[in-house]
Amino acid sequence: MSEITEVAGFGVALDRAYDPAGHFWVSMVASARARIGMDALGVETSGTIAQLAFLPTGEHLKRGEAFGSLEAAKFVGPLTSPLSGRVTATNDAVVADPSLVERDPYGGGWLIELDLDDPGELGEFISGADAIRDWFAAEVDDYRLKGVLAE
């Protein structure tokens, strides 16, 4: 289990990389296999999650293509892949109990695993404890300024 640190009122795991575009985290589970989940800000801005659906394993994705869909109180739409690769696993537990994503976004609430086409895509992500803290705090400030987060 990863250590969760509080940043601007949200829990953040510092042991992985973050896609700044979509509020997804990526954790390597093998040399070219990545586990993907939503970060706490992505979860918060979606609202209560009612339903998740994923593409079947074996499907190939390009970065930016939908790997599934999310129905929640504040958002209904596609979940877009932060990386290119083949879907090798989907988390049946979150399909059965979507609230697991809200309760444990960095652990049991992961979404999918991909065998990566190009691990170099991770170079565009934010990683390292200080960089993650700075980026996440700035994102929370920006969301609050835009009125996306309630005070």
Question: pLDDT tens digits, residue range 27-74?
Answer: 999 989 999 999 999 999 888 999 999 999 999 999 999 999 999 988
Vertex 96 angle, CA 90 and 45, to 5°: 80
Ordered structural domains, the chain, with CATH: 4-145 (2.40.50.100)
pTM of the predicted model, to two decimals? 0.94
The 10s digit of each residue's pLDDT in 75-105 is 889 999 999 999 999 999 999 999 999 999 9
Q: Which residues of 14-46 are buried (b: 16+ CB within 10 A; e: fewer)?
A: bebbbbeeebbbbbeeeeebbbbbbbbbbbbeb
